[in-house]
Amino acid sequence: MVNIEEVLELIKSGYTNPKEIARVMGINVEEVSGIIKILESLGYIEKVEFGSSVCSRCPMKKICSGSCIHFKGQIYQISEKNSSNSSKTP
Q: Could you report the per-residue pLDDT of 43-87, keeping only the tens digit for each?
A: 998 887 665 555 666 666 676 655 554 445 666 778 877 665 545
Q: What is the pLDDT of residue 80?
A: 76
Domains of the chain: 4-80 (1.10.10.10)
Q: What is the DSSP string of the chain?
A: ---HHHHHHHHHTT--SHHHHHHHHTS-HHHHHHHHHHHHHTTSEEEPPTTSHHHHH-TTTTT--SGGGG--S--EEE-HHHHTTTT---
Q: What is the pLDDT of residue 64?
A: 65
Whether 36 has a pLDDT exceeding 80, the answer reads yes
Q: What is the pLDDT of residue 70?
A: 45
Average pLDDT over residues 11-24: 89
